[in-house]
Structure 1
Amino acid sequence: MSNQATVLNVQRFTLHDGPGIRTEFFLKGCPLRCDWCGNPESFNRKAEVGVYQNKCLTTDKCSECSDVCEQPNMLIFSDAALQKIDRSACTSCLGCAQECPSEAIKQWGSEMSIEQCVEVTKKDRGFYERSGGGVTVSGGEPLLQSDFVYDLFKVCQKEGIHTCLESSFFAHWSKIDALLPVTDLFISDIKLMDSAKHKKHTGVDNHKILDNLKRLSTTDKPLILRIPVIPFVNDDLGNAEATADFILNEMGGRVRTLQLLSFMRLGEEKYASLGLDYPMRNLEFDRIEFQNRVNQLAKYFNQRGIHCLVGTKESAG
């Protein structure tokens, strides 16, 4: 039994990732590096800190971070203000984030126990019952902490609470198989059908993902699929045709809904706070033309008999 997980965020009263009103736990750590990801703080499995220079009070007014840092030279200042962190020297003690009074140093991730997560869900149980909602676990990639997900969902199941897992499905099938008895709904992406392009834009090929989707389609578990539609990456008809063929021929059409989520330029400030380059920084495209392409792709999928929605996350049961 895994009693603790590194949780990036807890969102209450969410309406997007599963039916009804939900409590969503975002677990930290992800093996993919999607160019368009807006949540770089989810990459690292361990808790870490981000630096927001414009919030720093400067050392002539505040020295809380340097006073508690285990490696004082790790904090790099310019004109008396914190500029960045030498992450090669950081021990992840998190003391600087805990002491910073202005959130110039922000902690991403903290340990939560099953008991703490259950306590959160108890507060929202009335909303689940009235709306047909429940608990969703997302990421990052929650299958990196699949034992914790199993234990949490098992408790939810005993309490009659609907459970939903949102995952990239980039994991060994055994981890998904173990969660089948305690998971009521699965949500996954199907980003690109061309394996080489998938690896180029996400850091991994898609063989394991597609195999897991085929295996899940042989069970009785409902599945929502999502395509994050990215300009000049996967917004072409060729990828749509290959995706439709896969859903209909390899999965037997066993998909409740296919959602097309249009690219939004998100997360640039978070990338900077972590000392990372934003991969989509130089992307330029016409928003109206792009949205028209997305709408045409949705029309194509619906013509193929695949229930498809644009720019939304399903909230219906």
Structure 2
Amino acid sequence: MSNLGTVLNVQRFTLHDGPGIRTEFFLKGCPLRCDWCGNPESFNRHIEVGVFQNKCISNTSCGSCIEVCPAPDMLIFTDSTLNQVTRDQCTACLACSEDCPSEAIRQWGDSMSVEQCMTLIRKDKGFYQRSGGGVTISGGEPLLQANFVLELFSKCQQEGIHTCLESSFFANWNRIERLLPVTDLFISDIKLMDSQRHKTHTGVDNRKILNNLKALATTDKAIILRIPVIPHVNDDDDNIHATADFIINEMGSKVQALQLLSFMRLGEEKYQSLGLPYKMQDLQFDRISFQRRVSDIADYFNSRGIHCTVGTKESNG
């Protein structure tokens, strides 16, 4: 087993990803590239730096990053402020982020041991006990770090702490199967039912995902499904009807709830910090009409006997 995980973020006292008050660990690394993802800093598994040009003091009045960087030629300046780094040369030594006085250079991700995670978790055990909460691991895609998840969840269950895994389910089944004994609740998206459309908008087809969901439905595990509803991408009747058919015919009563997550324009500054394009930049839609459409979709699922709510979440990857 691996005792170290690459953790993007830890959020305590969360309420959205599982029952009760929870501590949530977001792991780095994801095999999908969803057009609408608000967390591009989760794409790569390795620790990296993000550059926020609007916070840079300038290389003439500051220049601390130049002084500490082992390869300062890879620092790219525009109008005297740091714009980006040459990422194929950056070793993520993090000297620049540690020394930057204006936080224009941010460290995305950190290595944490299972015991470090458990130290944080134990601080909140009283809140879990009073609220029916626990620990959630999300991403990125946590199944890329399945050994770390297995060890952390095993520790949690030894101490009577509820565990929840939020995953895209784009992984080999054996990774999921190993986690079944230590995971109380699984949360997964259903983004698009048509395999080719799924690949167009996420970078991968959905056959492995759907097969894994069908396999999970044969176990005794609790399941919550989510649809990140994206205007002009997956909010059409054909996709919604096909999704309902799949849930009813292939998963049945094992799905506790279906949550609709309305698209929000998130993460643009983070894309810029990584030198990546934001694919939803040109998306145009009327917010009021879209919210009405999301409500209609929820009504449709409920009319088919699928308990559906319009949920909230800080990001929808």
SS in 1 for 2:124: helix
- What TM-score does the superposition give when structure 2 sets the normalisation length? 0.97
Work out the CA distance in 1 between the residues paired with 2:17 and 2:78. Answer: 42
Counterpart residue number, 1:85: 85
Do 2:47 and 2:92's aligned partners in 1 also have CA atoms closer than 8 Å?
Answer: yes
2:23 aligned with 1:32, yes or no?
A: no
Shift of 1:139: 0.2
Work out the CA distance in 2 between the residues paired with 1:31 and 1:144. Answer: 8
Deviations 1:133-187 (A, max 9, x none): 1000000000000000000000000000000000000000000000000000000
Counterpart residue number, 2:74: 74
Do 1:9 and 1:25's aligned partners in 2 also have CA atoms closer than 8 Å?
Answer: yes
SS in 1 for 2:107: strand
Q: Which runs of 4+ in 1 moved over 6 A?
A: none
Shift of 1:59: 2.0
Counterpart residue number, 1:222: 222
Counterpart residue number, 2:110: 110
SS in 2 for 1:170: coil
Counterpart residue number, 1:303: 303
Work out the CA distance in 1 between the residues paired with 2:147 and 2:101. Answer: 36
Counterpart residue number, 1:140: 140
Q: Which amino acid aligns with 1:278?
A: Y
More divergent stretch after superposition (212-221 vs 65-74): 65-74
Counterpart residue number, 2:252: 252
Work out the CA distance in 2 between the residues paired with 1:121 and 1:271. Answer: 30
2:282 aligned with 1:282, yes or no?
A: yes
Deviations 1:83-103 (A, max 9, x none): 211112211211111111111
Any residues of structure 2 matched to 1:76-225 within 5 Å, and which? Answer: 76-225=76-225
Shift of 1:252: 2.5
Do 2:221 and 2:254's aligned partners in 1 also have CA atoms closer than 8 Å?
Answer: no
Do 1:227 and 1:259's aligned partners in 2 also have CA atoms closer than 8 Å?
Answer: yes
Work out the CA distance in 2 between the residues paired with 1:78 and 1:138. Answer: 36
Work out the CA distance in 2 between the residues paired with 1:50 and 1:252. Answer: 43
Do 1:187 and 1:224's aligned partners in 2 also have CA atoms closer than 8 Å?
Answer: yes
Q: Which amino acid aligns with 1:154?
A: S
Counterpart residue number, 2:54: 54
Work out the CA distance in 1 between the residues paired with 2:61 and 2:312. Answer: 46
Q: Which amino acid aligns with 2:223?
A: L
SS in 2 for 1:244: helix
Do 1:49 and 1:274's aligned partners in 2 also have CA atoms closer than 8 Å?
Answer: yes
More divergent stretch after superposition (168-177 vs 79-88): 79-88
Deviations 1:48-74 (A, max 9, x none): 011111111112222221111121101
Shift of 1:272: 0.6
Work out the CA distance in 2 between the residues paired with 1:253 and 1:159. Answer: 30
Work out the CA distance in 2 between the residues paired with 1:282 and 1:204. Answer: 23
Do 2:186 and 2:222's aligned partners in 1 also have CA atoms closer than 8 Å?
Answer: yes
Work out the CA distance in 1 between the residues paired with 2:140 and 2:6. Answer: 11
Work out the CA distance in 2 between the residues paired with 1:4 and 1:107. Answer: 18
Shift of 1:34: 0.1
Work out the CA distance in 2 between the residues paired with 1:303 and 1:178. Answer: 36
Do 1:247 and 1:254's aligned partners in 2 also have CA atoms closer than 8 Å?
Answer: no
Shift of 1:80: 2.4
Counterpart residue number, 2:266: 266
The number of residue pairs the alignment matches comes to 313
Deviations 1:123-142 (A, max 9, x none): 11111111111000000000
Q: Over the residues paired in the alignment, what is the CA RMSD in angstroms?
A: 0.9
Work out the CA distance in 1 between the residues paired with 2:71 and 2:32. Answer: 30
Deviations 1:24-52 (A, max 9, x none): 00000000000000000000100001111
- Structure 1: gaps spanning 5 or more residues: none
Counterpart residue number, 2:3: 3
Work out the CA distance in 2 between the residues paired with 1:30 and 1:69. Answer: 28
- Structure 2: gaps spanning 5 or more residues: none
Do 1:9 and 1:27's aligned partners in 2 also have CA atoms closer than 8 Å?
Answer: yes
Work out the CA distance in 1 between the residues paired with 2:252 and 2:24. Answer: 30
Work out the CA distance in 1 between the residues paired with 2:89 and 2:182. Answer: 41
